[in-house]
């Protein structure tokens, strides 16, 4: 939030801007106004008239209030980096690691930030969205760093965040994998900006509250187009968050003008490495190393993960992106994605981490959406479909273990026999 000195005759439109507070008192022809920066610039000014820009003075700023939902590997690094920048106060919603963090804080070993012991966000931690909502805080940004599992039992992620979203005010940031993840949010919150965060950060929670961050934090931030909101407002919201996130000086973050392209590009990696790593429990380094003839030691024809699974599946995703979204990549994109991580990094993919913890996989957001988009556009994707089917099998096993199936196996057997 910013406190700005305006000429009073320019406040007619600003006074109705979401999140703007215009006090009744004034001194001469000026008023002090408190408003989010992205609304000030897009609502208060006629951008074609530069003289309007000389009619205000930015006098001081207060910290933005940010709620981060999810305190795993990526969510914790996001929240920590935000506070390191000094432009925002971060509060976190935690689940399985809540008790540990309340007692001992986070222990972080980060390639960007160094070693940090007993860290807690300045805004505190809560164990649920309802607890956050009960505090009465209005959030400028709500960051979702949770897994996106639309096939999980209700409530949906949208329903979970609803109590803390202030209409017209809260900017929702989805630092999550997959395609079409914004649609339910825009439908549920038509007057709120929804941003895309494509994270290229390698970070793992190896034990409750213990974070190993071993691949530099790179973040692309853009907006998911919402026809209900002026594009200028959506751009400003994204650019303001980029400014907040960049302030630490220790990460790489930039405004993303082509969200769809960025998400498809990340899917080239995620749709392929994520399920293979999860189902084999081999990280991307081992998959490549075990593809070497010197390593696999089998009789001819020797098995090669890269050539029989990884590369063909990545090519299918590229074809799907072109046919479904008009997104074309350079010919070397598959080679770049095959070797996206250092061969000596031994980094666990997000699905592999979830599989080790016995959790649901992001089958639908990552594989299902890419597969549906591609096949609906006429692209044959046999390798991706096979990976998707295997992941769904794993998913049913986890759902059975967690009591999430829609009926008992005995009931299913009865139906099957009919």
> Residue 48: pLDDT above 70?
no
Strand order in the sheet with 125-126: 125-126, 88-93, 64-69, 141-144, 171-174, 194-199, 218-223, 252-255
Residue 5, pLDDT score: 45
pLDDT interval class at 55 (50, 70, 90): very low
- How much is the pLDDT for 366? 96
**Would you place residue 102 in the very low, low, confident or very high pLDDT band (cuts 50, 70, 90)?**
very high
- pLDDT tens, residue by residue, 115-143: 999 999 999 999 999 999 999 999 999 99
Q: With 50 as the cut, is the pLDDT of residue 277 above it?
A: yes
Q: What is the pLDDT of residue 300?
A: 58
Provide the pLDDT confidence category of residue 303 given band limits of 50, 70 and 90.
confident
Cis ω before 303 (30° cut-off from 0): no
* Mean pLDDT, the chain, integer: 88
Which has more confidence, 48 or 21? 21
9: pLDDT confidence band, cut at 50, 70 and 90?
Answer: very low
pLDDT in tens, 193-240: 999 999 999 999 999 999 999 999 999 999 999 999 999 999 999 999
Over residues 380-407, mean pLDDT: 96
Q: Which residue has the higher pLDDT, 247 or 40?
A: 247
More confident residue, 1 or 264: 264
Q: What local confidence, expressed as pLDDT, does residue 188 receive?
A: 98
Average pLDDT estimate for 330-335: 97
Assess whether pLDDT exceeds 50 at residue 45.
Answer: no
Position 296 scores a pLDDT of: 74
Question: Are the beta carbons of 147 and 362 closer than 8 angstroms?
Answer: yes
Domains by residue range for the chain, with CATH: 2-61 (no CATH), 64-257 (3.40.50.720), 262-401 (1.10.1040.10)
Residue 173 confidence (pLDDT) above 70: yes
Apex CA 320: angle with CA 315 and CA 325, to 5°? 135
Res 154: pLDDT? 86
**What pLDDT shows up at residue 16?**
44
CB 161 within 8 A of CB 173: no
Mean pLDDT score, 327-352: 95
Question: What is the structure's pLDDT at 400?
Answer: 95
Q: What is the pLDDT, as a whole number, of residue 293? A: 83
Indicate whether 310 pLDDT > 70: yes
Write down the pLDDT at residue 1: 52
pTM metric for this prediction: 0.84
* 106: β partners: 119
Q: Per-residue pLDDT for 26 more than 90?
A: no
| Residue 58, pLDDT score | 37
Looking at residue 377, what is its pLDDT?
99
Residue 278: pLDDT over 70: yes
Average pLDDT over residues 6-23: 46
Tens digits of per-residue pLDDT, 177-205? Answer: 999 999 999 999 999 999 999 999 999 99
pLDDT at 11: 47
pLDDT of residue 147: 92
Chain segment 156-171, per-residue pLDDT in tens: 999 999 999 999 999 9
């Amino acid at each position: 939030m910013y406190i700005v000195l305006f000429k009073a005759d320019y406040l007619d439109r600003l006074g109705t801007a979401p999140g703007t507070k215009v006090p009744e008192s004034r001194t001469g022809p000026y008023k002090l106004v408190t408003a989010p920066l992205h609304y000030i610039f897009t609502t208060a000014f006629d951008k074609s008239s530069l003289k309007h820009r000389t009619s205000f003075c930015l006098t001081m700023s207060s910290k933005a209030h940010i709620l981060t939902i999810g305190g795993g590997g990526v969510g914790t690094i996001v929240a920590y980096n935000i506070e390191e920048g000094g432009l925002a106060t971060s509060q976190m919603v935690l689940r399985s690691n809540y008790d540990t963090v309340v007692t001992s804080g986070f222990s972080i070993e980060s390639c960007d930030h160094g070693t940090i012991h007993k860290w807690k966000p300045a805004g505190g931690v809560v164990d649920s969205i309802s607890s956050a909502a009960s505090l009465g805080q209005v959030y400028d940004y709500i960051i979702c760093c949770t897994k996106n599992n639309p096939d999980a039992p209700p409530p949906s992620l949208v329903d979970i965040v609803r109590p803390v979203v202030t209409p017209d005010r809260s900017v929702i940031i989805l630092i999550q994998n997959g395609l079409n993840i914004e649609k339910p949010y825009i439908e549920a919150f038509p007057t709120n900006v929804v941003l895309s965060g494509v994270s290229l950060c390698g970070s793992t929670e190896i034990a409750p509250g213990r974070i190993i961050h071993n691949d530099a934090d790179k973040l692309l931030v853009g907006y998911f187009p919402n026809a209900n909101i002026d594009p200028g407002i959506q751009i400003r919201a994204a650019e303001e968050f980029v400014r907040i996130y960049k302030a630490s000086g220790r990460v790489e973050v930039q405004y993303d003008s082509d969200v769809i392209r960025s998400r498809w590009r990340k899917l080239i990696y995620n749709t392929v490495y994520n399920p293979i790593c999860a189902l084999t429990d081999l990280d991307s380094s081992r998959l490549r190393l075990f593809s070497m003839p010197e390593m696999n030691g089998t009789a001819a024809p020797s098995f090669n993960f890269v050539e029989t699974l990884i590369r063909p599946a990545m090519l299918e995703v590229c074809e799907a992106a072109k046919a479904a979204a008009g997104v074309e990549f350079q010919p070397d994109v598959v080679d770049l994605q095959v070797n996206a991580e250092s061969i000596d990094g031994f980094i666990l993919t997000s699905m592999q981490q979830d599989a080790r913890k016995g959790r649901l996989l992001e089958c639908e957001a990552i594989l299902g959406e890419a597969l549906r988009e591609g096949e609906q556009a006429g692209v044959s994707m046999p390798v991706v479909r096979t990976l998707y089917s295997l992941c769904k099998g794993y998913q049913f096993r986890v759902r059975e273990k967690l009591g999430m199936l829609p009926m008992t196996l005995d009931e299913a057997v009865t139906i099957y026999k009919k």
